[in-house]
Amino acid sequence: MLSAPEIPRSVLNAPRNTAAVAVTVLLAAVPAAAGTPDVDWDHGSGPPNMAKGLPNPPGWYRAAVGPRSPEKVLYLTFDDGPSPQTRPLLRSLRRHGAHATFFVVGAAAAAAPGVLSVMRRDGHAIGNHTWSHPRLTDVPTAVVRREIRRTRRAVGPGGAPCLRPPFGLVDERVAHEALRQGLMPVMWTAHVEDWNPHPLSWTVARLRAATRPGAVILMHDTHRQTVHAVRTMLPRWRARGYRLDVVPACKTPTS
Residue 194 lies near Zn ion (rule: CB under 5 A): no
Residue 79 lies near Zn ion (rule: CB under 5 A): yes
Q: Which of 61, 80, 174, 237 binds Zn ion (CB under 5 A)?
A: 80
* Least CB distance to Zn ion at residue 169 (A): 10
Q: Which stretch binds Zn ion (CB under 5 A): 65-73, 79-87, 142-150, 239-247?
A: 79-87
Active site residue 122: no
User: Would you say 35 or 166 has its CB closer to Zn ion?
Assistant: 166
User: Would you say 80 or 194 has its CB closer to Zn ion?
Assistant: 80
User: Would you say 37 or 134 has its CB closer to Zn ion?
Assistant: 134
The contact mask relative to Zn ion for 149-188 (x = CB under 5 A, - = no) is -----------------x----------------------
Dihedral through CA 154, CA 45, CA 227, CA 105, nearest 10? 10
* Least CB distance to Zn ion at residue 158 (A): 21
Distant-in-sequence, close-in-space partners of 3: CB < 8 Å, separation ≥ 6: none
Which residue is catalytic, options 124, 176, 191, 220? 220
User: Would you say 36 or 77 has its CB closer to Zn ion?
Assistant: 77
The answer to whether 125 and 255 have CB atoms below 8 angstroms apart is yes
The whole-angstrom separation of Cα 82 and Cα 80 is 7
Q: Which stretch binds Zn ion (CB under 5 A): 74-82, 87-95, 207-215, 236-244?
A: 74-82
Active site residue 79: yes
- Binding residues for Zn ion (CB under 5 A): 79-80, 166
Q: Annotated active-site positions, please?
A: 79, 220
